[in-house]
Amino acid sequence: MSATAHELSAIERGVFRFVKAEFELSDRTALLHYQILADGFERSFTETVQFPGAPNPDDFSPPRKAAFARALQILHVIAGVSYFKATNAPKVEFAEPGQVDAALAELANAVYTHGLAEFCYQNQTEVRASFIADAPILPPAPALALEVRALVAIGGGKDSLVSIEALKKGDIPACAVWIGNSELIAGAAKASGLAALNIKRSVSPALFILNSEGALNGHVPVTAINSAILLVAAVLYGYQHIVFSNEASANAATLMHQGKAVNHQWSKSAAFEHAFARLVHDSVASNMQYFSLLRPYRELAITGKFAKFQQYDPVFSSCNRNFKILGAKPASRWCGQCPKCHFVFLALAPFVPKPRLLAIFGRNLLDELALAPNFDALIEWQGAHKPFECVGEAQESTAAFVALSARADWQEDALVQRFALEIRPHLLDDLATLSELCLPDSQVTLPAAFANLVESL
């Protein structure tokens, strides 16, 4: 039976309940159960995450069993954000008390507050619930018998492929892992030559039904959810390193609203990375490392590195329309209409020969005047804010335009010419240059074995 307008209003005054998390041994699947409760209205959700070929946790040593239980608990809490947003209830509770210690409560409050900042901005609301610790502080986590190898997240785009090439060059044993059913990502993983692991995640169909009935909907911190899934995987399969490919540019807010930062990429930021890594170290395994290999670099620097690997031209895609859970997908790897397509084209242009770039995209996006407003948003021209997408900072897009406007092969294209004639004269003279923005941040430290891998590419 469909939710009525009265019920949809009621759930925003109700309770979001974490029912339980369990692990089905028969098919190695985590089952994450949640409920929305309000004035007689009840809706239940079960998300599943399958870990193919994983060992049996019942065979683990007691410390590794405890680590697995903790990782599953963290996943249950973080993945709940997808279902909580449908109600944005003023209260969260657990079916069994004593589930949340202070460290987990702190991370959960950050994920649900900062990770839903864009959702709140778009829906003109704010997160009212908070997690309150009701369990004792856990003892420090021990070191586990994990293999010295890396579980590296691959998303099918340029960033993770740069990380993979760096790991290969450093002879770091690694496995490319992705979540979902994307054939594009599978193709990129195959092209990388690494061992591959495809984890299957199924969001509860009941959530899509509730959304179709008019419940609140919007952006969730997907990288936080994926990080928690890979944490469970690392304990299950025995990996010491969990490697993501989140860049320095992800730290920049998309916009400021009422004095608060709204960052589409918050769960890709250093703030989330450090908080999650600390929780992993302190309460899961003291010798497990979660980090981003690309953290010292902006998008432009990463793009410059990626340009060296022409073998990925036929398989990579950063167009997020190809990775939607629901709805039609583009006919090709690049839709040419979304901010990701526009930014990646612009960022690659200074580093990739023009014929090669046009072959990748199948068109010249910088010679389409109708796209001017979209590129204006990337440089935040005339008050526009950066798109709610995983794109670089405005100064990076501006630096790319400046560089292209000095290049004979690009300066006659409509948007480059427009930039040079109509926009550049109104900008400051001391803009950051392409070369300056490609320098790594010397203040960022990576684990010693990984410190210089990207720089050496």
What was the pLDDT predicted at 189? 96
pTM equals 0.95
Confidence at 383, pLDDT banded by 50, 70, 90: confident
The per-residue pLDDT for range 230-253, each reduced to its tens digit, is: 999 999 999 999 999 999 999 998
Q: Which residue has the higher pLDDT, 400 or 383?
A: 400
**pLDDT at residue 84 above 90?**
yes
443, pLDDT greater than 90: yes
**Over residues 396-406, mean pLDDT:** 97
> At residue 161, does pLDDT exceed 70?
yes
Confidence of residue 12 (pLDDT cuts 50, 70, 90): confident
Q: How far is CA 196 from CA 173, 188, 235, in A?
A: 12, 10, 17
pLDDT band with cut points at 50, 70 and 90 for residue 331: low
> What sections of 49-195 are H helices per DSSP?
62-79, 81-84, 102-114, 117-123, 158-169, 183-192
* Per-residue model confidence (pLDDT) at position 109: 98
Mean pLDDT of 206-212: 94
Question: What pLDDT shows up at residue 240?
Answer: 98
The pLDDT value recorded for residue 275 is 98
Task: Judge whether 38 and 24 are in contact, CB under 8 Å.
Answer: no
Q: What is the pLDDT of residues 85-106, one digit of tens each?
A: 999 999 999 999 999 999 999 9
**Nearest Cα residue to 206 out of 348, 449, 33:** 33
For the stretch 255-287, pLDDT in tens is: 889 888 999 999 999 999 999 999 999 999 999
Distance CA 306, CA 163 (A): 9
- Percentage helix, strand, coil, to 5, in the chain? 45, 15, 40
* pLDDT for 410 beyond 60: yes
Residue closest to 82 by CA, chosen among 46, 125, 51, 110: 46
11 pLDDT higher than 80:
no
Higher per-residue confidence, 254 vs 347: 347
| pLDDT band, residue 2 (cuts 50/70/90) | low
pLDDT at residue 228 tops 60:
yes
CA distance 183 to 329: 12
The residue that leads in pLDDT, 129 or 429, is: 129
pLDDT at site 385 = 85
Task: Report how far residue 68's alpha carbon sits from residue 229's, in angstroms, rounded to the nearest whole number.
Answer: 11
